[in-house]
Amino acid sequence: MRTLTNDNAISNDAQATPRKPRVMVAGEFSSGKTKLINGLLGETVLPSNVTATALPPIWLVSGDKGLLAVDLEGNQRPAASLQEVCVDDTSYCVLSHPAACLKQFEIIDTPGNSDPNIPAESWERMLDFADTVVWCSNATQAWRQSEKSVWTEMPERLLNATMVITHADRMTDATSAHRVLRRVTREAGEFFDEIMMASLMLDADIARIAHHLKTICKGLPLSGGDRKIDFAVAQAITYSARSSSRLDGIDDLVKQPLEGGRVSASVTSKDLVATPLPAASMPDAAAIVKPIDAARRRVAAKMARSMS
């Protein structure tokens, strides 16, 4: 084990610079949370499509590659790989990585809120740390009742959230995609500042989401609770080209270019109103953005004032 150099703003150093914004990625089981995060990181850092074994929440911070596990009492210990982490007695893992986006904001990957293998408490406990939430919902069954139940209980300070309707490439045509988008905007609009539809198989859609996150993180009130992480105990990680198990995760770093999807399906709500779309193709336009309503702006401004 070696001590990691760490440019993570959450550090043991009380004199450290103000911490970075934290984006928690949550949503239904298998909705694409981890796929989105790997896309933002630019490589397959986390194991996606893990069905056999559950993983605890994973908090990604900027720094040399390293991993530690935090137990339910808050004790930290080094971990060599995600494979050795037991979900039952781990509150969350902290994984440091030099990806560019982590220099601007931290990301918290969470188990699916509807995952039958993991209690809801496992992801809900991470809400306290989050400054904003990206909620992934699969376009083929977007905004289920279980999602609405979660959001009706969401703390007010996190109603600055973004919804990403994933699997847009599974939509058969533009008309169906727009129908889903309109319905979700109507039914879930009150909970989200922005609603985007995207195929996570497309670099362009990932780039659009990354741009959106960088933009919102610039003025984001840091309302999440504090947490000091002692990186001196983190286990340094060596990337290997091959993995002995698909749960190795960060040891399983075969660089994978994002696959191409059939359809690019990020569109703006403005497009929906103003631009008739050719029935057979999707526009390669900016993400769907629901205008932030004035009340939300007031809450955000109030929070910013109270934090300063």
Residue choice 22, 65, 167, 208 for contact with ligand GTP (CB under 6 A): 167
Q: Does 30 bind ligand GTP (CB under 6 A)?
A: yes
Q: Does 266 bind ligand GTP (CB under 6 A)?
A: no
Q: Does 48 bind ligand GTP (CB under 6 A)?
A: yes
Q: Does 56 bind ligand GTP (CB under 6 A)?
A: no
Site string (14-43) toward Mg ion, x via CB under 5 A? -------------------xx---------
What single-letter amino acid sits at 87?
Answer: V
User: Nearest residue to Mg ion, using CB?
Assistant: 34
Q: Does 300 bind ligand GTP (CB under 6 A)?
A: no
Binding range to ligand GTP, per CB under 6 A, among 6-14, 76-84, 150-158, 163-171: 163-171
Binding range to ligand GTP, per CB under 6 A, among 1-9, 32-40, 213-221, 293-301: 32-40
The rounded radius of gyration (Å) of the Cα atoms in the chain is 19
Task: Pick between residue 78 and residue 261 the one whose CB is nearest to ligand GTP.
Answer: 261
Nearest approach in angstroms of CB 303 to ligand GTP is 28
Task: Pick between residue 7 and residue 43 the one whose CB is nearest to ligand GTP.
Answer: 43
Count residues contacting ligand GTP (CB under 6 A)? Answer: 21
Task: Pick between residue 54 and residue 289 the one whose CB is nearest to ligand GTP.
Answer: 54
Nearest approach in angstroms of CB 176 to Mg ion is 26
Give residues in contact with ligand GTP (CB under 6 A): 29-35, 48-50, 111-112, 115, 136, 166-167, 169-170, 199-201
